[in-house]
Amino acid sequence: MAVLAGAVMVLVAACGGGDGDDDKGKSGEKGKDDKKASQAVVEIAPKNGADGVATEDALKVTASKGKLTSVKVADAKGNAVKGDISKDRTEWKPADHLATQTKYTVNAVAEDEEGLKAAKHATFTTVVPKNTFVGYFTPENGETVGAGMPVSINFNRPIEDRQAVEDAVKVTADPGVEVEGHWFGNQRLDFRPKTYWVSGTKVSLSLRLDGVQGADGVYGKQSKDVKFTVGRSQVSTVDAKTKKMTVERDGKVIKTIPITSGAPSNPTWNGQMVISEKLKVTRMNGATVGFTDDDGEGEYDIKDVPNAMRLSTSGTFIHGNYWLAKSSFGQVNGSHGCVGLFDQRGGRSKTTPGAWFFNNSMIGDVVIVKNSNEKTVAPDNGLNGWNMSWDEWTAPQD
């Protein structure tokens, strides 16, 4: 029995191994390293669980006593929020505004000088707006338009922070060309290049208004992409003095048409005007545009004007005219301000000047009127911003 006890003692000693004191010290230090906490401190603003968070300037991730190595922010659908870590890697901010009424999750990691990592997690929900705004745009997605077509956005509420809204709208072109925006009042924003679009240009409109505070307590509620194509370039020049219109397509004259324009008492606007609407047949009543008689009735009421194309918001059209004798065109200016082309009633003909021009025109084509005894059409009276010089168009606005 004594021998057996000795063997057991030897076995226990062998399991300990070497110098008992030294091994105990090394084992203790290793355990301490495994439990050592990172000195890095990660902070997330807003606080975890916050509600009603602003969509701009509220989200920020910082690191002290360490450097950020990863920041991931996403909405409830998993859509990532882009952002940038500062050069010293101590701060992260989103690259753009957040959306309203959206729950976001933040996961951030930093490490200290010894490479030990610290992480933090937070969720928050952005503000639920009491009032929202959207932009109604033209042209529509997928359209092919003329070379004079601007991108025009009309907002359903007045915009106070126009710069914030404009920053959330991008218009790009292929082939590339400089495109700039211009505000007409506080509810309309148009974009155009310096000169008419080149034929075949592909234009893209990106609206990222969701979360943009356009006015106090009024947030955008729209995220949309629109693409359209510029077709051939057609510019038609109406000379009110000679009473003729010259149609050029891609720089070549393709037709000359006799016209009638505004009578001396109601001359046609001068300037560059863009076709914004096409109506095969429409009714025109003078009372709707201020032409009334002593009894308040319209000076004219034509229920079947053929081949009409709008040139201004105030009611200027280029259209077919069947109520004047054919011999009047090219000889007399007798309208209330519109440009008239000989036509048949109801627009039944395909060969009259009115029908030909209608069938060979598209939204966005340019009609220039010159030598009329009237001032130049206002740039916001229709899609007619081309009547501003590039310097005027791009000048800083209040």
pLDDT value at position 290?
62
pLDDT score of 34: 60
- Fold entry, domain 234-387: L,D-transpeptidase catalytic domain-like (2.40.440)
State the average pLDDT over residues 362-378: 98
Between CA 179 and CA 152 the distance in angstroms is: 13
For residue 308, is pLDDT > 60?
A: yes
Q: Which CATH number fits domain 131-231: 3.40.50.300, 3.10.20.90, 3.10.450.50, 2.60.40.3710?
A: 2.60.40.3710
Q: What is the mean pLDDT of the chain?
A: 90
User: So what's the pLDDT on residue 77?
Assistant: 95
- Judged against a pLDDT cut of 70, whether residue 176 lies above it is answered with yes
Question: What is the average pLDDT across 203-215?
Answer: 97
Confidence of residue 174 (pLDDT cuts 50, 70, 90): very high
CATH entry 2.60.40.3780 includes domain 41-126: yes
Q: Would you list the domain boundaries of the chain?
A: 41-126, 131-231, 234-387
Of the pLDDT bands very low, low, confident and very high (cuts 50, 70, 90), residue 12 is very low
Tell me, yes or no, if the two domains 41-126 and 131-231 fold the same way: yes
- Average pLDDT rounded to a whole number, residues 124-132: 96
Q: Which of 97, 182, 319, 336 is catalytic?
A: 319
- Residue 95: what pLDDT? 94
pLDDT in tens, 91-120: 999 999 999 999 999 999 999 999 999 999
Is pLDDT at 40 greater than 50 in this prediction? yes
Lowest mean pLDDT among 68-77, 301-310, 318-327: 301-310
Q: Looking at per-residue confidence, does 244 or 336 come out higher?
A: 244
SS (H, E, C) the chain: CHHHHHHHHHHHHHHHCCCHHHHHHHHHHHHHHHCCCCCCEEEEECCCCEEEECCCCCCEEEEECCEEEEEEEEECCCCECCEEECCCCCEEEECCCCCCCCEEEEEEEEECCCCCEEEEEEEEEECCCCEEECEEEECCCCCEECCCCCEEEEECCCCCCHHHHHHCEEEEEECCCCEEEEEECCCEEEEEECCCCCCCCEEEEEEECCCCEEECCEEECCEEEEEEEECCCEEEEEECCCCEEEEEECCEEEEEEECECECCCCCCCEEEEECCEEEEEEEEEHHHHCCECCCCCECCEEEEEEEEEECCCCCCEEEEECCCCHHHCCCCCCECCCEEEECCHHHCCCCCHHHHHHHCCCCCCEEEEECCCCCECCCCCCCCHHHCCHHHHHCCCC
* pLDDT of residue 151 exceeding 70: yes
Residue 280 near residue 310, CB atoms below 8 Å: no
Which of 150 and 19 is assigned the larger pLDDT? 150
In this prediction, residue 302 carries a pLDDT of 80
**Residue type, position 150, single letter:** P
- Which position among 97, 182, 336, 338 bears the catalytic label? 338
- pTM summary value: 0.83
Percent of the chain residues topping a pLDDT of 70: 88
Quick check: is 338 catalytic?
A: yes
